[in-house]
Each structure stands twice: as C-alpha cells, then as structure tokens.
Structure 1
Amino acid sequence: MARDRKTQALLPLRGKILNVLGAASSKLGSNQEISDLTQALGVGLGTRFNLDDLRYDKVIIMTDADVDGAHIASLLMTFFFTQMRPLIDYGHLYLACPPLFRLTQGSERVYCLDETERDTWLENGLGGRGKIDVSRFKGLGEMDAKDLKETTMDPSSRKLIRVSIDDQEPGETSNLVDQLMGKKPELRFQYIQENAKFADELDI
C-alpha cells in the first residue's frame, strides 16, 4: 500500500531518533536510525552531503498526530536542518498530515486534522443519514488500510506541508533550533515564558 517500486518507499524508524544537536560525530555514526536513514536517502551527512545523490524527490516525515508525534517530527527536522540542510533549502522535505479524527455519517466519511475542523463538520453535518460517528486516532497504527491510504500514503489525496526556512534576520532559524533543541533547558524555559501567551491550545 505505501510502497511503489517505481516511485515510493517507506522506511520505518523505531521510537524517537537521536537529538543530534550537540551530539558527537561518533554518536551520530553509531546510531542505527540515522545510519538507516542516511543510507536510504543516499546523500551522506554533514560535510559529506551531496544533493545530487538524493534518491527521492520528496522526503516525507510521517508521525502520529499527537504531542509525541510532534516531538519525533521535531527531532527529525533538527536532524535534517543540521546534517542535510540542502534538503530543506531546495524544497525536498515535507511533513505528512495524518488526521486526528474520522467522522462518519451513513456512507459519508471525512477526516479532520484538529478539533476545530471536527467541530465545523459536526455543526454543518456530512450530508449522510443518521447520527455522526466520531473516531479519534491515537496513532497511525490505529488506522485501517483505507484510512492510511487516503490520508497519508496516496499521492493523489494526502496532505503535505513543505518544510521551509524564512529567516527575517540571518541565523534566526539556527538560533531558534539551538534554543529549543539544544542542551540548555533555561533557553527553552525562556522561550516558553515569552511565547506562552500566543498559544490558544496545549496538548500535554
């Protein structure tokens, strides 16, 4: 379903990948997930990176639609930003958008990325008969084959977000990555204090 020998491959990663920010090069080289990922893409790491060797036009990060999935996606984006930056600069890195909810009414079915989209459909209806059944996905493993194909695997129907860098000032993104993913917890605490007022919802 996910693999197509002509156009698409799937690489499972077990658990949370290493936080590469500040990690020694020897630790990167001995990490199995990083080794598998580097070999699959064919481009090399850091100073040995060569974009011409990239085997796929799109590299898609696919994780659960909850806070744990967001953490794993953050670790992976940190890896790509620090070790394979041209993937981002040249538009090859994407985030898949698995839904958090599935709504069913009769023969009608829709997927919702968040609570806001769910509430809109619940208010307006799906156009089917009977009551609306709401299912919340706790992870990709809870989806059946049809759900996975429609929402994350099928190029004709899946939703993707291209990862990009839009620095208003030189080094802005690098500083933010250091602040959020580095080894100094006081910098993360400072960021939370300064930006908590902008958060409408928290998933803890």
Structure 2
Amino acid sequence: MHQHKLLLFIGLMLLYSNATFSQSLGEDETHIRTWNRFADQTLALHNKLIDELPVKRETDSGGYAHLPDFYREESYYHSGKLISRVQWEKETGDLHVIEVFIRDDQGRVVRDYTAAYLPEYHNAPTQTLVSFHAYNNGLHAFRSFDASGDLNVERCTGTHEGEPVELLVDLGSVFGSVEEDSELQQTPVYRRCFAGLPEKPGKYLEPQ
C-alpha cells in the first residue's frame, strides 16, 4: 500500500470514531456539494480509463473489525500497472472508496485521486485527495490537496546525498508545529524533494 494511502485509511478510522464530525458535515452544504462532486468526477475518470484502455480486473472483499465483510473491491491494471481501485458497499451498492492513478510514459504515478466515505455514512466523502508526484534524483515526493483546494499532506522518501530521507508534513495533524514545518521547508532536501510540484491544484482539482 502506498504510504499516503495508509494515511488515508488511518484517517478514515479516526473519523469514524468522531461522532461530532457527521453533525458538522451535515451543516455545511457547500462542503457536501463540492466533495460529492469530486467523488463523482473521480468515478467518471475511472470509467473513462477502463473504457479506453485494455485492462485486467481483479476482485477482492474486505472490511473492518466490526464490519468484516463490508465492501467488494475491484482493482484494474493496464500493462501490469494499477490504474484504479474501487470499493463498493456490499449491502447498498454505494461507492465506499475510489482511487485513480495517472501515470507517465515510464509507468510512474504523476497524479492520483482518492475519495472515501465512512462505513455506513454516505452524506459526503470524509476524505478527498488529489496528489501530485515528483521524482528527483532518487527521491519520490507527493503533495496532496483536498477537494476544497486546501493543502493536506506532503511526503518525501528516498535518498539525498547518500542519506535516507523520510519527510512528512501533515497539515491536518493536531500534533504538527507550524514553526517546525516552516523550518523544514527552508532546507535543501525539502527543496530538492518538492521541486517541480505545483503549489496549487489548479485545473486538476477536477479529476482528469
């Protein structure tokens, strides 16, 4: 599993335990409309790709501790590379999680989209991400925005000048320090990691 996908599912379960989240989300119609549209557009992009490309489909199922057989999962591969993964709630048929990966000519992910709903809660996605990826001299970095255009997570792994790199800037974390993040962003390794990545999602806020 990609590291940022691990963050996604950890975030899903944390949100599921927060009863106040559903109430606040239900009161924000703009948020609901924007994030549901992002999920619908991500699903439309998935359908477009599997219609245009020769794909191999693999199916699986899974769930959570209290819902062990909650979803049906479909993964789609083109030329051996994962291009999308969709989870559907088994009981209702509703979309649960969708991921779509856009790759370059070398097969590397350059952009990906994710939308995820809480189990048994379908008012709006609880997490949306458009992530941009860069590969700079042994480093792999990505920068993720939510469907409202807000920067969410930055991560970089690999090696720089022979030293291992493991950077994580989680702007949604209550444990984060603005001062520490600001200092990190001034370092040579940070600049090398994220060179070439957009600072705003721009037109890609609409999945394409």
Question: TM-score, structure 1 length as denominator?
Answer: 0.24
Q: Which has the higher contact order (CA 8 A, sep 6+)?
A: 1
Find the structure with the greater CA-based Rg: 1
Bigger fraction of residues in helix = 1
